[in-house]
Amino acid sequence: MKLARKPLKLGILFSLSGSYGMLSRASRRGALRAIDAVNADDSFDFTFDAIQRDPAGNIDLYAPLCREILEEGSVAHVIGCVTSWSRKEVIPVLEKLGATLWYSVPYEGFEASDHVVYTHACPNQHLLPLLGWVLPRFGVRGYLTGSNYIWGWEVNRVAREVVQEAGGEILGERYLALNDTDISRMIEEIRVTRPNFVLNSLVGVSSYAFLKAFADLAKTDSYFTPESCPVLSCNLTESEFTEIGDAAEGLISAGPYFRGAQGWPCQGVRDFESSLEAASWAAVMELSQLLSANPGLETAPISKLLSVNALPTMINTETHHTALPVLIAQVKDGAFDVLELSKDITADPYLSYSERRPAVRRPSLRVVK
């Protein structure tokens, strides 16, 4: 007679509404899909019970709701948060209660918490390869946009350094508060300065408004078409296409996965809507493998789980980041078309490796046929 499987509680902390709700819902779908897969797999001697909370885009609710999840009966792991602001809000709670956040969204790097596992890309896995591909092809005069918090600040800071090291210049740099859609000044500056590319580090509704206004600009001035002045992004995914519509055409992005593409280490599953869904799936599946290999350590810190784990793992035991493929893709006819692919790029969250500036030479990625 088969023994009953042990129920384990797993926290889910995503905002289902607010300015970045589309990103959160995509991430949540991936996590819940993976939970269903684990629960349907009898090879695991446990099942996951999702304990969900929705901060509704209110930054002040992340920490108390995270605490609420963790105090609901031996919850040690939480899949969640989209913005870096929200991630940093919950880290003190995780530290106090000895829990782990599995963060499945691209971020700006320069962090390696003992209480966070980073299953999406950091700058040497998105921004540097993206600029390394774009600068030799389009030029080194850039314009930077960003949401006015740590993601926008840090991504643009690194981009500025890369462009300057390549002998280029930044012609303008503007920020908007989250939820702000007044992009008229940005668009006018771009029209006047005529950069070779625009790096869009806006988030949510701010990004959607910008892309639509930029597409309108291209209709009146052919210089701003993707062929001469593309918009670049490290965080925009297919999960947002329904809101952006045709304004996404021509956008060039970097990430570990695009819908239907090869490369992501997700156990053969390739029909995710976007990298956000895929990264959340990977987080839950990696956690399930670690717990299965280490019975009795369900509430142990992630550092303990990794130190006793005898199985291969996608997680670096020192930084808690993951090695990921890097794909460069462009939106064509409403879908990302992969231009180049590099596999198994080790995360370098502090950009400490000697080979960390691909923008100053021709990219070494191979062409995907």
Q: In this predicted structure, what is the pLDDT of residue 355?
A: 53
What are residue 8's DSSP bridge partners? 48
User: Which of 125, 129, 134 lies closest to 107, judged by CA?
Assistant: 125
Read off the pLDDT of each residue in 302-307 and give the average, rounded to a whole number. Answer: 91
Assess contact for 103 and 74: CB atoms under 8 A: no
What are the angstrom distances between the C-alpha of 312 and each of 114, 265, 284, 300? 20, 13, 16, 19
- Sheet containing strand 252-255, edge to edge, reads 169-176, 141-147, 197-201, 231-233, 252-255, 324-332, 335-345, 366-367
Read off the pLDDT of each residue in 79-102 and give the average, rounded to a whole number. Answer: 97
Rounded to whole angstroms, how far apart are CA atoms 369 and 367? 6
Rounded to whole angstroms, how far apart are CA atoms 98 and 92? 10
Read off the pLDDT of each residue in 208-226 and give the average, rounded to a whole number. Answer: 98
Q: Which residue has the tokens 């918009």?
A: 231
Is pLDDT at 234 greater than 70 in this prediction?
yes
92: confidence class by pLDDT, cuts 50, 70, 90: very high
| Distinct helix (H) and strand (E) counts, the chain | 10, 13
User: Which of 266, 241, 268, 263 lies closest to 336, judged by CA?
Assistant: 241
Rounded to whole angstroms, how far apart are CA atoms 135 and 117? 31
User: Which of 83, 84, 92 lies closest to 63, judged by CA?
Assistant: 92
Instruction: Please tell me which residue, 211 or 20, carries the higher pLDDT value.
Output: 211
What are the angstrom distances between the C-alpha of 308 and each of 58, 66, 274, 277? 38, 27, 32, 29
368: confidence class by pLDDT, cuts 50, 70, 90: very low
Encode pLDDT of 114-126 as tens digits.
999 999 999 999 9
What are residue 331's DSSP bridge partners? 336
Cβ-based neighbour number of residue 214 at 10 Å: 23
Q: In this predicted structure, what is the pLDDT of residue 181?
A: 97
Q: In this predicted structure, what is the pLDDT of residue 343?
A: 84
Is pLDDT at 268 greater than 80 in this prediction?
no
Cβ-based neighbour number of residue 219 at 10 Å: 9
Is pLDDT at 148 greater than 90 in this prediction?
yes
Read off the pLDDT of each residue in 223-247 and give the average, rounded to a whole number. Answer: 97
Assess contact for 328 and 252: CB atoms under 8 A: yes
Assess contact for 16 and 25: CB atoms under 8 A: yes
213: confidence class by pLDDT, cuts 50, 70, 90: very high
Q: Are strands 252-255 and 324-332 parallel, antiparallel or unpaired?
A: antiparallel
Read off the pLDDT of each residue in 135-161 and give the average, rounded to a whole number. Answer: 97
Is pLDDT at 128 greater than 90 in this prediction?
yes
Q: In this predicted structure, what is the pLDDT of residue 271?
A: 84
Encode pLDDT of 29-75 as tens digits.
999 999 999 999 999 999 999 999 999 999 999 999 999 999 987 89
Task: State percent of the chain over pLDDT 70.
Answer: 92
